[in-house]
Amino acid sequence: MKALLSTDHKVVARAYLWAGLGFLGVGGLMAMLIRWQWGWPGRPVPGLGWALPESGGALTPPAYTGLFTMHGLVMVFFAITPLLIGALGHFVIPLAVGARGMAFPRLSAWSFRVFAAGGALVLVSFGVRLGTASAGWTSYPPLSAAHVFTPGVGQTLVMVGVVCAAVSSFLGAVNFVVTVVRCRAPGMGWGRLPLTVWGLFFTSVLNLLFVPVVAVATGLVLMDRVVGTRFFMAGAAVTGGGGDPLLYQHLFWMFGHPEVYILILPAWGMVGDFVAFFSRKRAHGYRGTVVAMGAVTGLSGLVYAHHLFTSGMAPMMGRAFMTLTLIISLPAMVMFLNWLMTVWRGSVRLTVPMVAALGTMVVFGLGGLSGLALGAVATDIPLHGTMWVVGHFHLTMAAASFLAVFAGLYFWFPKMFGRHLHTGLAMGHVVSSAVLFVAVFGGQLMAGYAGQLRRLYDPYQYTFLKHLLSLNQWTSVAAFALGSAQLLFVVNLVWTLRRGRVAEANPWQVGTLEWTCAPSPPPEDNYAEVPEVLRGPHELSQPEVYERLGRDWIGQAEALPEESKASTPEAQPALGGAG
């Protein structure tokens, strides 16, 4: 209740965090059930007999269709988005720019209230007669627009919930953009912003531009479904003329492809900051990384139609979108090279956030390479309907975003709660998750390359897919291990909140404002005095700082003393020592 009433950005952030983690658990359990079906199709799921008594605990085709529909919707709109943007965005942005709070505190509170209402509708949909939504996570009409294809109110409730999530994201984006533009501390120029803030800023711009598109498109589908309009209904489903279902696909992917960057830009920003912090170096090519993120933001709305290569698009249009899709990989390569150059010859500290950031780089790199085959028309057409798309999508959007979320959470947890998570459990969680992500989604890429079609309830009804059963069983075992590995985080979280050790003032020895000018956790107004920023966020291992302060970092608002207090050799610790 406090979260629903508070306008403090830190309280709102924690509310998003708990809600996002809850939905992440729900979406993860659904993923485990889907993997069971692909590994042991038609066999009863252990412990699920009470939920599906008529089939003895085995997933039926309608139950399976509902699961893969809701897994995608829950993970995209109610798990990764609130964790990466709602929680970390609300918490980090005001602190990192030196503001006392969000530009519009009441808007922060309303963004969470609308999100909570949408999440409640989604949860209610599981308990209604005929079950939850089952038209796929894209909600393509006519499946989603006609009761004859998706009977019951479950589909309607979920689509209203998606509209609520979209409205919440839009409200948050307005707040984030105005906070970054108007509420920065004195001296916090654009070139002194942490890369995490840049990533969240670009994400907010994309949310402002493209979230209204999916909100309007979903609203029009709801009107077709509830009121009887015909925006997207055609053919035998209507009489006397109708609309165009393909129009919805254009509208959906006009949002859907930028959504990939909406979720990955904050991750890129955090990776850029963390590799600099824990390599004890300035971020290599800071300006180039910012320009590259801006270029991706600008191009993201121009590449969406590569999702429609198989829809009968004119060949000339296909070539144009193929070219744009391949071009957008260039700024991503610039960022990747800058990260590598930052790590190169750095005094690397393998902290948990750093290992999670490196894991993000690996899975994102694999996802990007596998996506090149889907950006070209000639290779996309045979792969489009296969599990290759599922593997690529999950490496890029799920695994990379997931690891980035936990990199950020492990980094800012001491600031949020004033306690330090157990390092051993956290490291085990991050390393096992990264390895198992590659195993699970690599297995999906292999199944897709072998021709396994996605969305099939029982792929082995097709003779040419029978030999993939053992591959899918091993992939499912890896997925179950991945799900079990998340218990390390749950145990760590519960134990730390109860008995975890109190966090030091600046456990990572970095210079950004939240770690050098505010206690942990910060008070309601964040700072006793608004800091005056003097330098950038990555002033690490600078000789003059080491000479005068006896350490390898300096705060963004910390004046460098004229006289060295560490001028004697015995007072000088090793440069870039472990933290």
Is the backbone peptide bond immediately before 142 cis, with ω within 30 degrees of 0? Answer: yes
The tokens for 360 are: 């993000």
Overall size of the chain counted in residues? 579
Give Cβ neighbours of residue 313 (< 8 Å, ≥ 6 apart). Answer: 305, 321
Taking the alpha carbons at both ends of the chain, their separation in whole angstroms is: 38
Q: What is the pLDDT of residue 571?
A: 42
Q: What is the pLDDT of residue 570?
A: 46
Q: How crowded is residue 519: how many other Cβ atoms within 10 Å of its Cβ?
A: 12
d(CA 15, CA 109): 10
Q: What is the pLDDT of residue 52?
A: 84
The tokens for 78 are: 């109610």
Note the helical H segments in 129-153: none
The tokens for 359 are: 């894991």
Residue that the structure tokens 């120029």 belong to: 189
Q: What is the pLDDT of residue 217?
A: 96
Q: How crowded is residue 222: how many other Cβ atoms within 10 Å of its Cβ?
A: 20
The tokens for 129 are: 């007669």
Q: Phi and psi at residue 511, in whole multiples of 5°?
A: -110, 5
Q: What is the pLDDT of residue 1?
A: 66
Q: What is the pLDDT of residue 577?
A: 38
> By the 8 A CB rule, do 292 and 363 touch?
no
Give Cβ neighbours of residue 181 (< 8 Å, ≥ 6 apart). Answer: none
Q: What is the pLDDT of residue 220?
A: 95
Alpha-carbon distance values, 33 to 28, 163, 486, 488 (Å): 9, 27, 16, 21
Instruction: Report the DSSP beta bridge partners of residue 419.
Output: 502
Reduce the DSSP state of residue 272 to 3 states and report it. Answer: helix
d(CA 339, CA 326): 21
> By the 8 A CB rule, do 433 and 402 touch?
yes
d(CA 151, CA 522): 49
Q: What is the pLDDT of residue 173?
A: 97
Reduce the DSSP state of residue 365 to 3 states and report it. Answer: helix
Q: What is the pLDDT of residue 566?
A: 47
DSSP symbol at 509: -
Residue that the structure tokens 């729900």 belong to: 26
The tokens for 88 are: 């970390």
The tokens for 223 are: 């009107």
Q: What is the pLDDT of residue 441?
A: 96
Instruction: Report the DSSP beta bridge partners of residue 453.
Output: 386
Q: What is the pLDDT of residue 574?
A: 39
Residue that the structure tokens 């796929």 belong to: 136
CA within 13 Å, CB half, 465:
20
Listed as ranges, residues in the chain with pLDDT below 70 are 1-3, 237, 240-241, 563-579
The tokens for 436 are: 């198992």
Q: How crowded is residue 288: how many other Cβ atoms within 10 Å of its Cβ?
A: 15
d(CA 125, CA 533): 49
Q: Phi and psi at residue 211, in whole multiples of 5°?
A: -60, -40
